[in-house]
C-alpha cells in the first residue's frame, strides 16, 4: 500500500502547488496550513472552514504526521528533552530550554552526523540519513503541542517589538543532531514554515541556523532564506580546527571568514555568532584568545563560549571556570561581545554536544571506534 503524502513536508508554496495540481484554489492550501501549524490540528474533520468535500478527499489521500515521542525527560532546571522516533530504529532528540523572557527549542536536522567533530557526542554515533522537512518542522509542531502553545491574532508584538504568535516557543535554533546545511533543501523548507505567518510566524532574528562551515551552503542560505547565523568555530587556526572540526580541511578559516562577511550582507542581524566550546588545555589559552581576536577582526561578531559537556570516552575535559573567565576577558577587552553559555539540562544529557538519540550508523564509524578502543586496551 502506498504511503500517503505527509502535508507537513510542504512549505506554503509547495502546498499551494500541490492543491493547484488537484484543482483547488490557493486559499484552500493556506486554510489547511493554518490548521496544521497554528492550531496543531491533524484531523481534517475538525478543519471547520474547509469545504466538507475537500476534507473527505484529504482524509483519503494524505496525512498530517509529526514524529512521535518515545521518551519525554525533564531536567532539574526545567529543560525538557524528547526522543523522537523517525523510523527504521532511528530516533533524534529535540530540547526545549525555558528562560524568563523566552523559550528556545533546539531542533535536529539529521539522524546522526557525518562531520565527526572531535568533541561532539552526536558525531560519535555516526550517520544514517537526512531528516525530511516533515520530521524537522514536526519537532516544532510536537513541542508546541506538548507545551500547550496557542495562536494569537496576526500582527501581535512581543515586549521586544518582535512578532508574537502567542506560543511558548519564541526562538528556534537548528543546533540539535546533524549539520543543518548538509540537509539544505529540507531545512530551508522547514525554515520557511517557521517564518510564515500562516504557520509559526517567527521573525528571522529569532530563528538561528548553526553550521560547522559548509561555505557553498552558507552562500545559498544567504540568498534563499537568510536567518540568524551561528558558526561552530572552536579553534583560532587551521591546524587545530582541522583536528577538532574536520570540515575545516575542505573549507579552511580564510574561506569561512569570507563566507561570514558575505552572509552579513543579507542577514537579519548585523553580526555572526561564533560558538566556541572550551576544552581544557586544547583551545583555551590566552594565546588562543588573542589569535581569535586577530582572526575575526574584519567580521562583526559575538562569541558564545560553551563549557564542554562531557560524554563517555570523549577524551576531552571542561576548561576551568577561571580559565574561561580569563579567555572571555581577552575577547571583551578587544571590544568583542562575549557571553558564556550557562549549561542547561546536563543531568539528562540535553546540554550542547550531548545529544545522541539512536542512530543506525551507515558510516560504520561506531564499529571502527569500538575496534580502535579495543586495540588500545
Residue ranges at the known binding site: 113, 117, 120, 178-179, 210, 232-234, 309
Q: Name, in order, each residue with C-beta under 8 angstroms of 247's C-beta and a sequence gap of 6 or more.
A: 115, 179, 212, 213, 214
CB 163 within 8 A of CB 88: no
Report the SS3 class of residue 207: strand
Signed CA dihedral, 301, 303, 304, 306: sign only: positive
Residue 264: CA count within 13 A, CB half-sphere: 17
The annotation places the binding site for [4Fe-4S] cluster at 113, 117, 120
Half-sphere exposure of 270 toward its Cβ, with a 13 Å CA cutoff?
A: 1
Active site residues: 93, 352
Question: Which burial class, exposed, middle or buried, applies to 55 when counting CB atoms under 10 A from its CB (0-12, 13-18, 19+)?
Answer: middle
Which distant-in-sequence residues (6+ apart) come within 8 Å of 344 by Cβ? Answer: 75, 77, 79, 97, 350, 351
Binding residues for S-adenosyl-L-methionine: 178-179, 210, 232-234, 309
CA distance 337 to 328: 9
Tell whether the torsion through CA atoms of 170, 265, 209 and 260 is positive or negative.
Answer: negative
Amino acid at each position: 500500500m502506498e504511503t500517503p503524502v505527509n502535508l507537513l513536508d510542504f512549505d506554503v508554496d509547495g502546498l499551494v502547488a500541490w492543491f493547484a495540481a488537484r484543482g483547488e484554489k490557493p486559499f484552500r492550501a493556506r486554510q489547511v496550513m493554518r490548521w496544521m501549524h497554528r492550531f496543531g490540528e491533524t484531523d481534517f474533520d475538525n478543519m471547520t472552514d474547509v469545504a466538507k468535500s475537500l476534507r473527505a478527499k484529504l482524509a483519503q489521500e494524505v496525512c498530517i504526521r509529526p514524529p512521535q515521542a518515545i521518551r519525554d525527560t525533564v531536567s532539574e532546571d526545567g529543560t525538557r528533552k524528547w526522543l523522537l522516533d523517525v523510523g527504521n530504529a532511528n530516533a533524534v532528540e529535540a530540547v526545549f530550554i525555558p528562560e524568563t523572557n523566552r523559550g528556545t527549542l533546539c531542533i535536529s536536522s539529521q539522524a546522526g552526523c557525518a562531520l565527526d567533530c572531535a568533541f561532539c557526542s552526536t558525531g560519535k554515533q555516526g550517520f544514517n540519513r537526512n531528516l525530511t522537512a516533515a520530521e524537522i518542522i514536526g519537532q516544532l509542531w510536537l513541542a508546541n503541542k506538548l507545551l500547550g502553545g496557542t495562536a494569537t491574532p496576526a500582527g501581535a508584538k512581543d515586549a521586544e517589538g518582535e512578532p508574537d504568535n502567542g506560543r511558548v516557543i519564541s526562538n528556534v535554533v537548528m543546533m540539535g543532531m546533524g549539520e543543518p546545511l548538509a540537509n539544505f533543501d529540507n531545512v530551508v523548507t522547514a525554515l520557511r514554515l517557521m517564518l510564515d505567518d500562516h504557520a509559526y510566524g517567527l521573525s528571522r532574528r529569532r530563528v538561528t541556523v548553526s553550521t560547522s562551515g559548509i561555505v557553498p551552503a552558507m552562500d545559498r542560505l544567504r540568498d534563499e532564506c537568510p536567518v540568524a547565523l551561528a558558526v561552530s568555530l572552536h579553534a583560532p587556526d587551521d591546524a587545530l580546527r582541522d583536528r577538532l572540526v574536520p570540515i575545516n580541511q575542505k573549507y579552511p578559516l580564510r574561506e569561512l571568514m569570507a563566507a561570514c562577511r558575505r552572509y552579513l550582507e543579507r542577514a537579519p542581524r548585523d553580526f555572526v555568532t561564533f560558538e566556541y566550546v572550551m576544552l581544557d588545555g586544547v583551545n583555551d589559552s590566552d594565546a588562543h584568545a588573542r589569535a581569535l581576536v586577530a582572526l575575526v577582526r574584519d567580521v562583526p561578531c559575538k562569541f558564545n563560549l560553551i563549557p564542554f559537556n562531557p560524554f563517555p570516552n570523549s577524551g576531552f575535559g571542561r576548561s576551568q571556570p577561571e580559565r574561561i573567565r580569563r579567555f572571555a576577558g581577552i575577547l571583551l577587552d578587544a571590544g568583542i561581545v562575549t557571553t558564556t553559555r550557562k549549561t542547561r539540562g546536563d543531568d539528562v544529557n540535553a546540554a550542547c554536544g550531548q545529544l545522541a538519540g539512536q542512530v543506525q550508523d551507515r558510516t560504520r564509524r561506531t564499529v571502527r571506534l569500538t575496534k580502535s578502543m579495543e586495540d588500545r586496551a
